[in-house]
Amino acid sequence: MKETEVQIEDITEANLQDIPESCRGCVYWEFPEEFDKAKLEKIETQKRLEFEEKKRTWFVQTLKEFGTCGKIVYYNDKPVAYAQFAPSVRLPNTSHYESKPVGKLEEGVVFLSCLYIADKALRGKGVGGALLKNIIDDLKRRGYQAVETFARRGDPENPSGPLKFYIKNGFILKDRTNPEFPLITLFLKFLSQASHEMKQVFLSIADILSEIFSAKRADDFIFAWRERFFGCYLFHK
Ligand SMILES: CC(C)(COP(=O)(O)OP(=O)(O)OC[C@H]1O[C@@H](n2cnc3c(N)ncnc32)[C@H](O)[C@@H]1OP(=O)(O)O)[C@@H](O)C(=O)NCCC(=O)NCCS
């Protein structure tokens, strides 16, 4: 895939209609009490349009209060992927997960709620990694301290994707009260720089271990050691 074929754009009021169809009317994070995931596919047109309008209003308000809170990836000018991130207070469903506490904007923490490559043919080609990097660079530029998400350990079916993807991109464990949906963090300031080489060492060890053991056991190894080196010290656990 040539770089020139892929473009990552901030979501603005002008391109809201380019959010992939399955995400455009999804209000799972924003209005959890109204969202019934089991019924989303079967939802009648009227309700879907209502949700789309709610999501649109959410974006307009969040753009006003927080600034850029989403990205769209275009491949040959066609929207193929989407990401959403915002202060956790704008995403009330974050408080319904067992792993906690989710960081607040006052602490400089932004929550990554969705990262989704809608076009299945483009998965596993680096688009997700490039989109995540674009978000990280954006949040760093804006001076935030950290970005967090709930990753999923045993299944890629998850609004922001699987744990393995985030481990690969340098995230560390914050809390795993629910081991299937741990809360993970990426520090955007000095610590992420200072620990960069250390992370590379861990990742190399993990790669060797994944060859020898199952991927899950390798993940456990990374968690145990990252927790020991970074987690205890940072989160007083
Ligand atoms: C998860 C996702 C965002 C990753 O983006 P991507 O472009 O496919 O990933 P990249 O090519 O940048 O990175 C690949 C790395 O991510 C990890 N990864 C990606 N998809 C994975 C999967 N399904 N299972 C495990 N690890 C995965 C791996 O570490 C992989 O590296 P490897 O191939 O060397 O093992 C994308 O695959 C996706 O949207 N999947 C659908 C998730 C879903 O169903 N979400 C529901 C939304 S409500």
pLDDT in tens, 148-205: 999 999 999 999 999 999 999 999 999 999 999 999 999 998 655 555 566 656 666 7
Distance CA 112, CA 223 (A): 20
Shortest CA distance to 153 belongs to which of 230, 215, 233?
215
Q: Is residue 207 part of a domain?
A: no
Domain membership of residue 217 (yes or no) is: no
Residue 234 lies in a domain: no
- Among candidates 110, 163, 157, which has minimal Cα distance to 136? 110
187: β partners = 146
Region 120-133 average pLDDT = 97
* pLDDT score at 206: 64
Tell whether 37 is covered by a domain. yes
**Nearest residue CA, atom 32 of ligand 1?**
124
* Residues sharing a CB contact under 8 Å with residue 76, sequence separation 6 or more, in sequence order: 5
Cα-to-centroid distance, 153 and ligand 1 (Å): 12
Q: How far is the CA of 128 from the centre of ligand 1 (A)?
A: 7
Select from 41, 123, 127 the residue to mutate for testing ligand 1; criterion: most ligand atoms less than 8 Å from CB.
123
Measure 44 CA to ligand 1 centroid, in angstroms. 30
For residues 173 and 148, give the distance between their C-alpha atoms in angstroms, rounded to a whole number: 10
Task: Record the pTM.
Answer: 0.84
Residues with CB under 6 A from ligand 1: 115-117, 123-129, 156-159, 161-162, 164-165, 168
3-state secondary structure of 110: strand
Q: State residue 233's pLDDT score.
A: 39
Question: Does 230 map to a domain?
Answer: no
> Is the pLDDT confidence value at 224 over 80?
no
Distance from the alpha carbon of residue 115 to the mean position of ligand 1, in angstroms: 10
- Assigned domain for 237 exists: no
Distance 73 CA to ligand 1 centre (A): 15
86 Cβ contact list (under 8 Å, min separation 6) = 62, 66, 69, 110, 111, 113
Domain that holds residue 47: 3-194
Give the mean pLDDT of the chain: 86
CA dihedral for 118, 93, 10, 191, sign (positive or negative): negative
Asked whether residue 141 is domain-assigned, the answer is yes
Tell me, yes or no, whether 92 lies in a domain. Answer: yes
Query: What mean pLDDT do residues 32-46 have?
Result: 73
Rounded CA-CA distance 149/159 in Å is: 9
Domain containing residue 75: CATH number = 3.40.630.30
Across the range 4-23, mean pLDDT stands at 94
Looking at ligand 1, which residue's alpha carbon is closest to its atom 17? 165
- Bridging pattern class, strands 6-10 and 70-75: antiparallel
Domain count, the chain: 1
Q: How far is the CA of 135 from the centre of ligand 1 (A)?
A: 16
Extract the tokens encoding 102. 């989710």
Residue tagged 């399955």 (tokens): 22
> Which two three-digit tokens encode residue 20?
């992939």
Strand, coil or helix: 171 = coil
CA nearest ligand 1 atom 16, residue: 165
Strand pairing partners for 85?
112
